[in-house]
Amino acid sequence: MVLAKKWIYAKAFSGLPTAENFRLEEETVAAIKDNEFLAEAVFLSVDPYMRPYMLQYPVGSVMIGGQIAKVLESKHPKYPVGSFVCGNFGWRTHTVCNPDEGELKPYVLPDFGKEPLSLGLGVLGMPGNTAYFGFLEICKPVVGETVVVSGAAGAVGSLVGQIAKIKGCQVIGIAGTDEKCEWLKSIGFDHTINYKTADIGEELKKAAPKGVDCYFDNVGGKITEIVCGQMNVFGRISVCGTISNYNSEAAKVTDPQRDYVWKQLKQEGFLVYRWKARYMEGIEQNLKWIQEGKLKYHETVTEGFENMPDGFIGMLTGGNTGKAVIKV
């Protein structure tokens, strides 16, 4: 008999999540059937998307999210005992899964070589593919262009900036502390702006006197309004997220639509699973860039499954640099 722990969405979010929104429960895991496997969580992910997405789920649901888990028992030939899988199992320690059911199938992690398994939730997982496909497929950067990344010190933004450098662009990162800005410079960003202390518009003019060609937007709100005002004609904007208003009751963003018309900008939002048929392409390319020393990563690790809400809330308030991960 296996006893699983799980975090329940106990109270609907209103503003920034608090401890009252979560409840820790236990349950006995059923014996596996044919074509199923039992997996035990090793690393769990906390990501910004969880805040708005959970509003679609009823109170009492298990919190959503991805994890790296070890297969303990298996009656499925493609998921052998001892293998490590990446799956959207939610905030739970043990999961019985039939991988042949559902649209987003778990997958056995490829060989990361000397790199840690936790990267399967970051640069070698969903955030890495979000940066890889979301930037390259939508912005289509050209050598010599200027790229701005908001939320630049996060799991996705930090990778977008480095991929832009690999593609020969000048990169400007916007982040929320001087420490994060210094880290971004250490991994190759040409310029950084601390949005909490600087005049973003003035600093952006200095860093990009000829304007901005590509903008990878993780935050929305006032920052995006300012960047759009300095986009070049035929600029491209990839909209990954709007974290600035995730904890608001209603978004209060000035409409920048005139810039889209007069400058003939192209803006496109996306979900990374648009490219699910090419998923391993992104993982393999990002791993190759890591091994070549072209792509660097950072993880902010919270120890203990019991501390998942703390790690989640800390990530939403900017407490992480790079990917936020929970280690069981």
Is 80 exceeded by the pLDDT of residue 249? Answer: no
What is the pLDDT, as a whole number, of residue 259? 81
With cut-offs at 50, 70 and 90, classify the pLDDT of residue 257: low
Q: Which domains does the chain have, with CATH numbers?
A: 2-122+298-327 (3.90.180.10), 126-272 (3.40.50.720)
pTM, rounded to two decimals: 0.95
Q: Counting beta carbons within 10 angstroms of the beta carbon of residue 52, is it exposed (0 to 12), middle (13 to 18) or buried (19 or more)? A: middle
Q: Each residue of 82-114: pLDDT tens digit?
A: 999 999 999 999 999 999 998 889 999 999 999
What is the pLDDT, as a whole number, of residue 251? 45
Is 90 exceeded by the pLDDT of residue 260? Answer: no
Is 70 exceeded by the pLDDT of residue 250? Answer: no
What is the pLDDT, as a whole number, of residue 104? 85
Q: What is the DSSP letter of 16?
A: S
Q: Each residue of 160-202: pLDDT tens digit?
A: 999 999 999 999 999 999 999 999 999 999 999 999 999 999 9
With cut-offs at 50, 70 and 90, classify the pLDDT of residue 253: very low
* Distance between CA atoms of residues 16 and 246, nearest Å: 8
3-state secondary structure 57-79: CCCCCECCCCEEEEEEEECCCCC
What is the pLDDT, as a whole number, of residue 132? 98
What is the pLDDT, as a whole number, of residue 10? 98
Q: Each residue of 16-44: pLDDT tens digit?
A: 999 999 999 999 999 999 999 999 999 99
Contact 50, 9 (CB under 8 A): no
E strand map for the chain: 2-9, 22-29, 37-45, 67-74, 84-87, 94-97, 107-108, 146-150, 170-175, 191-194, 212-217, 231-239, 266-269, 299-303, 323-327
